[in-house]
Chains A and B, each alone.
Chain A
Amino acid sequence: MQVFKIPEVFREDMKYTFCPGCDHGVAVRLVAEVLDELGLKEDTIAVASVGCSVTIYDFLNLDTIEAPHGRALAVATGVKRAKPDKFVFTYQGDGDFASIGLAESMHSALRGENLTAICINNTTYGMTGGQLGPTTLMGQVTTTSPMGRNAEYYGYPIKITEHVALCDGTAYAARVSLDTVANIKKAKEAIKSAFDVQLKGLGFGFVEILSTCPTNWRMTPEKAHERVRNEMMPVFKPGVYKDIRG
């Protein structure tokens, strides 16, 4: 029998602040478990971003700096270059990573910064109330695409992992989903791999996590996971897109 315990890296006074059914909770827990398993707590400097992801420091008992919106990987670059012996990762949303911060994100990958970026893709700007973001699917209704996303007004969603995998400096890039127990296990493996390439000094590690936003999608958690499966995964296909460890 497997006994679950609270990861040691979690803060003792931690309060759960995400919406019910939101996958951020699962994602943060997976990050915490991997940090525990790799014994990284005392060597880690985390970089928080702006969006729902900002509260990472309320969960994880790590040295953490909060970056301005979109600048997480620039801040992380500064941290890592100043302290190359520390383990450094960012925890960002898709808006932070792939819209306002696309330049900082891609250039960190292109430079092959020895960093890990975890990016939550929930196809919307969650914290501000569910507006259209860079990953909003075609036809998706949001508060700023009331008739659904169309190419004429909004263009197309970005497939982040594919772009990151194309960068020469990227050592590992994967997209995962949290819709089933099996996929949650795969997600944890991916996070572990993305941490591992940094520990081995191989370059940029990246995991895009497909996540629910039940509140802004106006769905039950169960329906939200069905949407991840039926609408997101056909467009944002899970898989390991690059792993230079072979």
Chain B
Amino acid sequence: MELVTDKKILTKGNYAIANAAVMAGCECYFGYPITPQSEIGEFMSGKMQELKRAYVSAESELAAINMVIGACSTGKKAMTSSSSCAVALMQEGLSYAASDELPVVLVSVMRGGPGLGNIYPSQGDYFQATKGGGDGDYKLIVLAPSTVQECADLTYKAFYLAHKYKNPTVLLADGMLGQMMEPVVFKDYPYPKVDNSSWALDGANNRDGRIIRSYAPSAHNQCEFLQKLHQKYKLIEENETEWEEIGTDDADVILVSFGSTARNAKIAAKMCREKGLKVGVLRPITLFPFPSKRLSELSKQGKKFISVEVNMGQMINDVKLAVKDDVKLINKPVGIPPAPVEIVKQIEEYYASF
């Protein structure tokens, strides 16, 4: 596979992510194969060596995430990619990276779970990404692409936000986005360089040694640290919350849906409009920070909400917290998202229930 820098091509989401990562200046890739994201590691293995950047076929996901931690401690752009049951193995590292305030980038291409599950698309790791499986009070920045173009664009953004906020950042895609091909254009990396000279490890030259650590023997220090960490999360919420809205102004009902599933939610909303039902869509692009404030505003206008997801209902909890109202769930447990006609049928039933 050639690195694409200047033309529109048809490619898989996985390749779009890998190509964008290289263009974003990712200098180190560490990974272990798992379907449905193995193309990322395959692409990186060749490309990173050609460009004389760092690449390691790690012995496990545990090792991979910790290699990323090591590379990030030097201020370099570094990443790993994985999927569901293997991202589970990385939770320890993500908690450490959050505590160490390191710009780790993880691409998580969701498949069916729990356990080994299957290789079909899923959104069953919404909780895993946004609530975390690691210990302690931490947050990851989570970006959810909906198209192959967004897979590329949000990969750029993941590196930028990770470094801007010194916070581990997840690009949360799924098997459908990873495996499908769509046209994509690779722009130049659009974000400014982030200065890391105040914290990166580079050898204690004419200064005291810097320590990157999470061990906090004093309870008092840990209190202060957590307050500071959460001030950062608040800042991220204020500055970086991103979502897409379609037809919400006059809508009675708003479908809240992210990632690949949002594609069908949009089509379903359009089909509803053709039937005279005023349905809109709100697609969170950042899952943390979640567009709670906007949902709350819309709720105060008397609108009703339906969460459309490919899982047993995870994001719906965040929607409920935001709108402080009952929220209907339209879901499919696993697989490619529910067909638009199926979504429309359930919306019609919902309307009929009033």
Binding site for B on A (CB under 8 A): 11, 41-48, 50, 54, 57, 60-68, 71, 74-83, 86, 103-104, 107, 111
B209–A54 CB distance below 8 A: no
Chain A residues with CB below 8 A from B72, complex form: 78
* Shortest beta-carbon distance from A43 to chain B in Å: 5
B72-114 interface mask toward A, CB cutoff 8 Å, 1 = contact, 0 = none?
Answer: 1110101000000000000011001000100000000000000
CA–CA, A63 to B209, complex, Å? 4
CA–CA, A79 to B70, complex, Å? 4
CA–CA, A155 to B351, complex, Å? 66
B354 interface hit (Cβ, 8 Å): no
Chain A residues with CB below 8 A from B68, complex form: 78
A74–B62 CB distance below 8 A: yes
Sample (30) of A-B pairs whose CB atoms are under 8 Å apart: A11-B209, A41-B203, A42-B203, A42-B205, A43-B203, A45-B73, A45-B202, A48-B213, A63-B201, A63-B211, A64-B201, A64-B209, A65-B211, A66-B213, A66-B215, A67-B66, A68-B92, A74-B67, A74-B70, A75-B69, A78-B67, A78-B69, A78-B71, A81-B71, A82-B28, A103-B62, A104-B63, A107-B58, A107-B59, A107-B63
Chain A residues with CB below 8 A from B210, complex form: 63-64
CA–CA, A237 to B214, complex, Å? 36
Chain A residues with CB below 8 A from B76, complex form: 82-83
Chain A residues with CB below 8 A from B54, complex form: 81-82
Which interface class (under 10, 10 to 19, 20 to 34, 35 or more) fits B?
Answer: 35 or more
Chain A residues with CB below 8 A from B331, complex form: none
Binding site for A on B (CB under 8 A): 27-28, 30, 54, 56, 58-60, 62-64, 66-74, 76, 78, 92-93, 96, 100, 201-206, 208-215
CA–CA, A63 to B64, complex, Å? 22
Chain A residues with CB below 8 A from B59, complex form: 103-104, 107
Chain A residues with CB below 8 A from B100, complex form: 65-66
Known: A79-B70, A81-B56. A71 touches B93 (CB 8 A): yes
Chain B residues with CB below 8 A from A41, complex form: 203-204
* Shortest beta-carbon distance from B309 to chain A in Å: 32
Given contacts A44-B203, A63-B201, A79-B73, 15 further A-B contacts (CB under 8 A): A45-B73, A57-B211, A63-B202, A65-B201, A66-B212, A67-B66, A74-B58, A74-B67, A78-B68, A79-B71, A80-B70, A82-B78, A104-B59, A104-B63, A111-B56
User: For residue B55, which residue of chain A has the nearest CB?
Assistant: A81
CB-based A-B contact count at 8 angstroms: 137
Chain B residues with CB below 8 A from A43, complex form: 203
User: For residue B201, which residue of chain A has the nearest CB?
Assistant: A63
User: For residue B102, which residue of chain A has the nearest CB?
Assistant: A65
* Shortest beta-carbon distance from A223 to chain B in Å: 30
By Cβ-Cβ distance, the 9 closest A-B pairs, closest first, are: A78-B70, A74-B66, A78-B67, A66-B213, A81-B54, A75-B70, A82-B71, A71-B66, A78-B71
User: For residue A111, which residue of chain B has the nearest CB?
Assistant: B56
Known: A57-B209, A111-B56. A78 touches B201 (CB 8 A): no
CA–CA, A21 to B59, complex, Å? 38
B74–A45 CB distance below 8 A: yes
CA–CA, A107 to B62, complex, Å? 12
Q: Which of B27, B67, B205 contacts A75 (CB 8 A)?
A: B67
A75–B74 CB distance below 8 A: no
* Shortest beta-carbon distance from B67 to chain A in Å: 4
A65–B63 CB distance below 8 A: no
* Shortest beta-carbon distance from A93 to chain B in Å: 14
Known: A54-B215, A78-B69, A82-B71. A103 touches B63 (CB 8 A): yes
